[in-house]
A and B are shown apart, each in its own frame.
Chain A
């Protein structure tokens, strides 16, 4: 069971409720026995009735609250996560988290009840009628024992069939996903009969496993009903001989099934709960971004930067190998090289997002790792390769929460004409899903963000003009040229116009410094 905040408290409250439920079950049996032997409605019955209603309600409310809290926690966790594919987080944060419900509100509560109530019933039976109590005590453990035995047998059988089932069951998803490819080769219609035959084969294979899998519930049902028969018939004979009174007999009859009922309820919820548990584990397995903490602050202004034999590995694969270079304060270097040569990694190291696996980066002589990240980043203006648009107005997307001169930054990034063409100008909502802006316009938003940070001492530009036409490129270049004086700059660039802004060019190849030339 995964560790969840508040789980222990939830389980203990559930246990307390289960004890009360057991008491209500016992009282209800007393009341019913009295009622059915002609004793009328007793106070036991009224209390039991009210108690059961109240307990049903509190169970629902409690499990609902806990599930809402857990799902809220999972969602918050996912908001700070870094999954392999960013797209999956959209599904996971909504439907994925919903799927945990069957486990949290269905299975867990019934599991707790299925432990407490049978024990209470058996204890009561021992004080009422020894023979019946022994019958129930002897048969009750058969249920979990048989469930486990049958479960093991099923597991062995299904694991043999598992890959077949997975393949047959997944076939539909496979062909629907590949429909585009099938169409390209003119094979789409021909696959319809395969869909039918695979579905039939899947049904056959599944039914074959179910025949075994359902045996466990068959055993459960049989044990439960047979023991009612085992209890009832001998009691009937004892009543006939006069050695037992009718009320006691009826009490035993009403109580006996109550010992099996919770186990059957938990068993019925087991299958759905397994899916819920999987969903829960998946949500907890997504890695969470950890943040760096360091406290050293530095004086603002154009920094001097030194890379000392910096190497970076991603999952064991080297991205940078022993990179050495130094940037005096106020200098501008351009990084070139084919894609995958480590240019963006150099920027990620400078931003502190990727720690060097060996070597170090010195900022004004201080190791970057000891600098407070927020203080350091406040002095950096960065244009990433593909800027993200947030669900805000265009103006907020440029300022990103700072008190920047948005129109001036937009003008410098040649974005003012774009804003003028939007329905609500700078107040037009933009975002990742809307695609109101083109790839080139998005690039200019990223540039405007950097240009808005007029006080930054270090400028990092990752191919800022890659998606721009030549007219926009020259506008952006002149804005960049105005931005650079008095700052240290690293420009990742291909185009000659951009390279001309740099004092020198460093060429990266396969994560190593290839050649260094003055521009």
Chain B
């Protein structure tokens, strides 16, 4: 699927914007040309009647240019915004069935990639189209007076509008390709310097490490200078072509003096439309990279959807494991039996694979080794897994809307009384119409956590998964909230926590370390309750 897929309406809108733009630029061109003609014809002292049309023309064109430009900008933005809306929808639909992007940075990047494509239209497609239209008209009109002058103008415009932008795009693309590994290294070293700052200071190795990162910075700065010199040369070449072509038109055009002056000034002004393309070409590699990343998302084949309906809800992990190429296994050889009603606790230090195990159960992650079965079938066979298993993930998202809308995700037809009950269970006590802010920023950390928990309570699935659900709450309060939530849970529960005392009354405790389950005896003694 092409990312540019434009609907007929989009094409018409785009055409309209281009025509407005070309009209505005041609009006500017014609204004200078007519004014020059008017003056030089007036110098020949003809009767006033010979000038009337030009005088009216000058005044009309002056008004026309501003109006058309305004119309072009609005039309251009309209086509881009409408198209962007359609593109966002398509990207979203392509993301829905996949396993999702991992990492917040990748998500932010994809979203800004999609938005960057509007620049492709507004700063490239439209200006280039307008420049081409204006150039064709300018060359055509010049040709009626002198073929030689028209030839010179066409040649100059091709160099300034096609050859030089192409060169600039090539230079920046090559530089971007050469810089890419250095930029990746810089990003990695910067993260190390920030996260490992204290360790480096303690080891007396800070200066050494910073020098190595600074060397990369200097190398990049050197490359940037080289590129800007080359681009500056291209821009200077553009100016040279503009002025030489203008003089050539004046010398080659053997029409009357007023007519020659008009065409010469028109040629000079035509370049004002074409020359900005040279600078804009610097962004071409960037836009292409964004387009390629968006395209990759759109072209990801959707995995086959299952058709099976969930029955009793008996999960079983059979030597299940998850490993990503080139990394240590996130999880390996996990056996777990989870019949309806069973409560399983998962303990272990961070990085041990607890969240990966939950993701396997939720079907957000598919095992690379072993099997995850639900009533004897792989999870991918099922169409309605969310009706059976859901809960509060560690990275659960709070949407930028109201508390109510956030809760209703879990049960769209819930009444306010049901919402209030879920909130009470989770110890969440803010008004339902309260705005949550972006990712729950308008709430305190504790409120945000309890909202996520209330959502899980409202969903009331047969299998409830909770990933460190009271982390960040005051311990005593957190324990009480968790006890409430567990008391309300009707079916199976899988609880990830780092506090063994949360797991009183659980049927099984699984302790993970480095992606493996520890034998029950090695799990270590449970510290006494405080």
Contacts and interface: CB of A to CB of B under 8 A. Distances in A.
B328 A257 contact: no
Contacts of B59: 229, 233
Interface residues of A, number: 144
Interface in A219-253: 219, 221-222, 225-226, 228-229, 232-233, 235-237, 239-240, 242, 245-246, 249-250, 253
A225 B66 contact: yes
Interface centre among B48, B82, B513 (most CB of A within 10 A): B513
Contacts of B108: 173, 177
A68 interface: yes
A195 interface: yes
A426 interface: no
Contacts, number: 411
B202 A380 contact: yes
Interface residues of B, number: 149
A137 interface: no
Interface string A203-233: 1001100110011011101100110110011
A184 interface: yes
B92 A64 contact: no
Interface string B235-263: 11111100110110011000001001100
Given A89-B194, A185-B390, A207 B78 contact: yes
* Secondary structure dominating the interface of A: helix
Interface in B211-254: 213-214, 217-218, 220-222, 224-225, 227-229, 231-233, 235-240, 243-244, 246-247, 250-251
Interface string A36-70: 11100100010011001110111111011101110
Given A38-B257, A177-B397, A257-B32, A435 B327 contact: yes
A61 to B, nearest CB: 5
A20 interface: no
Contacts of B387: 186
Given A79-B210, A87-B105, A54 B224 contact: no
A327 interface: no
A240 B42 contact: yes
A91 B105 contact: yes
Given A54-B236, A72-B220, A176-B95, A469 B225 contact: no
B221 A57 contact: no
A167 to B, nearest CB: 6
Contacts of A434: 326-327
B264 interface: yes
A431 B107 contact: no
Contact of B70 (A69, A183, A218, A382): A218
Nearest to A35: B250
Nearest to B186: A93
Interface in A303-346: 338-339
A439 B231 contact: no
Interface string A94-112: 1000000000010000000
B226 to A, nearest CB: 9
A172 interface: yes
B69 A221 contact: yes
A433 B74 CA distance: 45
B28 interface: yes
A189 interface: yes
A72 B221 contact: yes
Contact of A192 (B89, B185, B199, B261): B89
A161 to B, nearest CB: 15
Given A170-B438, A438-B514, A94 B183 contact: yes
B236 A171 contact: no
B415 interface: no
A281 interface: no
B411 to A, nearest CB: 8
Contacts of B515: 438
Interface string B95-126: 11000110011011011001000000000000
B499 to A, nearest CB: 9
B191 A401 contact: no
Given A203-B78, A210-B77, A82 B197 contact: yes
Interface in B382-401: 384-387, 390-391, 393, 395-400
B505 interface: no
B196 A390 contact: yes
Contact of B107 (A78, A177, A207): A177
Contacts of B233: 57, 60
Contact of A222 (B40, B63, B237, B514): B63
Name the 8 nearest CB pairs between A and B, nearest first: A64-B228, A60-B232, A186-B386, A199-B85, A388-B196, A178-B397, A439-B351, A57-B236
13 contacts: A36-B36, A69-B221, A71-B224, A176-B110, A177-B439, A184-B396, A196-B86, A221-B69, A441-B328, A467-B349, A467-B513, A469-B513, A469-B522
